[in-house]
Structure 1
Amino acid sequence: MKTLICSLLFVLPLTAHASSTLRCDSGLISLKDSTSIVSNKCGEPISREFVGYREVLDEYGFRNEVAVEEWAYGPRNGMYQFLRFEGNRLIKIESKRGK
């Protein structure tokens, strides 16, 4: 049992951590923020990747195709932050420890 706990403690810091907010140099960003708000508060990402398109339903039930992008920031205290946008809105914030 002690070996299992030690193994988990070693593995846990390498796993991803999802959050609904992220502190940047000039403020706090949150899920549903636009790409322009994130860019203004966090600056330019170290990488910006177009992932593709995703079909979503709008509030009226109509299907729309939106662009999906992933931005990366870091390292900051050994952590990288990965932000996923759909239709220019932040939908996911994930932090991972650098290798």
Structure 2
Amino acid sequence: MKPLFTLRLVALVLPLTVIALDAQAASLRCNSKLISTGDVTSDVLSRCGEPVSRSFLGYKQVPGPRYGESMEVAVEEWIYGPWSGMLYFVRFEGNRLSDIQSKRSGN
């Protein structure tokens, strides 16, 4: 009976762990202020200042305000740094911060 209980426990806990990891928001510290996914462009600018670079990447279809609707939003990537040897790539979809990636500068 014990192996069956262990298998059931793993089957229950593993999906919950994956969901919890997926729910974590990306964040970046700019000086003493923090930006996170979901922040608007004006908040990022006020906390981190002007980026080193801004690139317009195109448009993306996202779900609209009503069920079954979709809308097109602009996608931009801003680059901050190098800070302590790292470059930070901040992506916006519409007016919202959607992703933060980092990379060692010089690579």
TM-score range, shorter chain: 0.7 to 0.9
SS in 2 for 1:51: strand
Identical positions, percent? 56
Equivalent in 44, 49, 52 of residue 46 of structure 1: 52
Equivalent in 36, 56, 75 of residue 42 of structure 2: 36
Deviates more, 1:19-28 or 1:61-70: 19-28
Equivalent residue, structure 2, for 1:81: 88
Equivalent residue, structure 2, for 1:21: 27
Structure with the higher helix share, 1 or 2: 2
Query: Aligned partners of 1:22 and 1:80: how far apart in 2?
Result: 11
SS in 2 for 1:32: coil
Q: Which has the higher contact order (CA 8 A, sep 6+)?
A: 1
Structure 2: 5+ residue stretches without partners: 1-24
Equivalent residue, structure 2, for 1:93: 100
Task: Give the AA of the match of 1:71.
Answer: W
SS in 1 for 2:46: helix
Query: Aligned partners of 1:67 and 1:56: how far apart in 2?
Result: 10
Closer, same or farther: CA 87–65 of 1 in aligned 2, 3 Å: same
2:74 is the counterpart of 1:72: no
Count of aligned pairs:
81
Structure 1: 5+ residue stretches without partners: 1-18
Q: Is the 8 Å Cα contact of residues 84 and 93 (structure 1) preserved in structure 2?
A: yes
Query: Any runs of at least 4 consecutive aligned residues in structure 1 with deviations exceeding 6 A, and if so which?
Result: none
Answer with 1 or 2: which has the greater Rg.
2
Query: Aligned partners of 1:91 and 1:31: how far apart in 2?
Result: 5
